[in-house]
Amino acid sequence: MYSYDIYIMENSNDNKISRKGIFTKANQFKKEREDVIVKLNDILNIKGDKTYFWLDEIDETKKKAIEEIGKDIRKYFVTAQWSYYKNIEVKDRHMSLVKSIFRDMGYNVTQNIQYRSKNLEKTSRTKISIEKQQQ
């Protein structure tokens, strides 16, 4: 039987319990992970009190910028369960990546579809809201 010494990591603000000698990516790459969030906020135009973006505002240049971020994500995040990196068909791969990053960093991500009538035609618009979870 193996025994592990368990202690509270000294450099961790959230006092997560970890096995001695094993550092999580969340603790090891804290600055880099925050930098990824800042880059995503810039790409998605999330600033100040605005905590949402519209899905139809994501154009090809924003998609390419998100995919560029996706190239280095595996260094800083545990991505084994993220559908973006699995070989499955996903409707909006770039949005799957964005949602996974925000959720992993402790944000609540919700998606709302708003319907409206325009010139007697029903149209829908998808709003993605991102809020930091209370600790």
> Quick one: what percent of the chain has pLDDT higher than 70?
81
Whether residue 6 lies inside any domain: the answer is no
Whether residue 9 lies inside any domain: the answer is no
Whether residue 48 lies inside any domain: the answer is yes
Instruction: Please write the tens of the pLDDT for every residue from 38-61.
Output: 999 999 999 887 888 988 889 999
Whether residue 1 lies inside any domain: the answer is no
pLDDT for residue 21: 57
State the pLDDT confidence band at 19, using cuts at 50, 70 and 90: low
* Of 11 and 83, more confident: 83
Beta strands per DSSP E along 1-135? 6-8, 17-19, 52-54, 107-118, 121-132
pTM of the model: 0.74
Whether residue 31 lies inside any domain: the answer is yes
Q: Which of 133, 72, 127 is nearest to 97 (CA)?
A: 72
Whether residue 19 lies inside any domain: the answer is no
- Structural domain boundaries, residue 77: 25-132
Whether residue 5 lies inside any domain: the answer is no
Cβ-contact 53, 128 below 8 angstroms: yes
Question: What tokens does 49 get?
Answer: 């009190």
Largest CA distance in the chain: 71
* Number of domains comprising the chain: 1
Whether residue 3 lies inside any domain: the answer is no
